[in-house]
Amino acid sequence: MGTPVLQCLLFLFPMLLPPRGASAGSLHSPGLSECFQVNGADYRGHQNYTGPRGAGRPCLFWDQTQQHSYSSASDPQGRWGLGAHNFCRNPDGDVQPWCYVPETEEGIYWRYCDIPTCHMPGYLGCFVDSGAPPALSGPSGTSTKLTVQVCLRFCRMKGYQLAGVEAGYACFCGSESDLARGRPAPATDCDQICFGHPGQLCGGDGRLGIYEVSVGSCQGNWTAPQGVIYSPDFPDEYGPDRNCSWVLGQMGAVLELTFRLFELADSRDRLELRDASSGNLLRAFDGTHPPPPGPLRLRTAALLLTFRSDARGHAQGFALTYRGLQDAVEDSASPKDSAEAPAGDPDGANVSCSPKPGAAQASIGARVFSTVTATSVLLLLLLSLLRLLRRRSCLLAPGKGSLALGPSRGPGRSWAVWYRRPRGVALPCPPGDSQAEGPAAGYRPLSASSQSSLRSLISAL
């Protein structure tokens, strides 16, 4: 487990990453996302392991966790999505879905779930930020009250297309050209809690979580055939006295809307849907009259949406997906049509060519090779991690606790910084420190630059 192994890992690791730019916008299409809230509180999917495709640890059934704070008995109305199943959920508004797992000897009884499809549209992915040059080349700033929307608003006012959050407290702005040369990182690397909101993630150590600034904007003109509109200030709660409007145009003869989230404070906070040409009111919804479940189809070529909140309004808001149809029955194919349609392209392209002889065998061979390669590299990574963790002198166990800032007790150190992360964080501590006791899985150290930046930030508090 020395230098040859590390060289092997450096050679093989790029094979596990998606192609350059693959994560950028890969979840922007609403049809590819199972979550429309930034912390995945609305996740109702069926992943029942802490990792994707059966990786990680199996989840316990929610009707067998009465000894813990959350179980199906504590959610009789199903508001949190708990029940007689073991699917990942987020009943306590944590930073991402999680589940209880069989307790280990170290006392670990729950884990976060890594769900690739649980990222809100408008989130473009996690990217490496080495600092030289920065991943996003526009203006930047830091804040002890940083949230995702605080950063989005900052970059929107500066006239940039993209906003990136990093290390829980830093905000960077950039453009599409920055994204084109960006280096995608694993989604789990962006795992640090926003200083201004305990239920949001703001990038990671040397990792940028990048968003489109249109998320949570108060106005816009949309002409794409499909997309998502969020209430103002989303994913934060919308503020009082908001008066916002959005126009959907050139969509086709019929516009289909689906509300993925709708939570207004009361009847004085109102969302209206009007024909953009005539101004006629088509539908209106408020806190006491929510939209119906399922798709809502309106025969209009252009739609004007207006939202108004009163002086008290504070609530999560709404998220709705839209798509244009040529006719109201366009997406209702006959059984024959469905049977003859090719298993197709996710973007709806009509693929009519037949596969070449041997293409299936080549595809299977490529998948087997990729699986074997990935398995081998993951085993090497695990062995390297175990060897690395044996050298750590201080560990902080992940738990359902709050942000912690405190001094180090060791000689020659006047401060230390730590805070909860989904996988925990390892800190440099003096030999013999009592904090060194605890589980070792999933810990890694903060970089020296992040330690220095955090020290400067905290000294200003």
Prediction pTM value: 0.61
CATH hierarchy code of domain 36-118? 2.40.20.10
Where does CATH 2.40.20.10 sit in the chain? 36-118
Instruction: Give the CATH class of 219-325.
Output: mainly beta
pLDDT of residue 452: 56
Q: Spell out the residues 6+ positions from residue 232 whose beta carbon is closer than 8 angstroms to its own.
A: 216, 217, 218, 238, 239, 242, 244, 307, 317
Question: Please, what is the average pLDDT of the chain?
Answer: 74
> Percent of the chain scored above 90 by pLDDT?
34
Q: How far is Cα 165 from Cα 147, in angstroms, rounded to an integer?
A: 8
Assess contact for 288 and 259: CB atoms under 8 A. no
Say if CB 442 and CB 423 are below 8 A apart. Answer: yes
Q: Is 319 or 398 the better-scoring residue by pLDDT?
A: 319
Query: Which residues belong to CATH 2.60.120.290 in the chain?
Result: 219-325
**Predicted confidence band at 385 (pLDDT cuts at 50, 70, 90)?**
low
Task: Give the tens place of pLDDT for each residue, 118-176.
Answer: 888 889 989 999 887 889 999 999 999 999 999 999 999 999 999 999 999 999 999 99
Q: Report the alpha-carbon distance of residue 27 to residue 33 in Å, rounded.
A: 6
Contact 129, 207 (CB under 8 A): yes
> Which single residue is written with the structure tokens 């709708």?
262
Q: Decide which of 30 and 354 is more confident.
A: 30
Alpha-carbon distance 63 to 305, whole Å? 42
Instruction: Check whether 426 has a pLDDT greater than 60.
Output: no
Does the pLDDT of residue 98 top 90, yes or no? Answer: yes
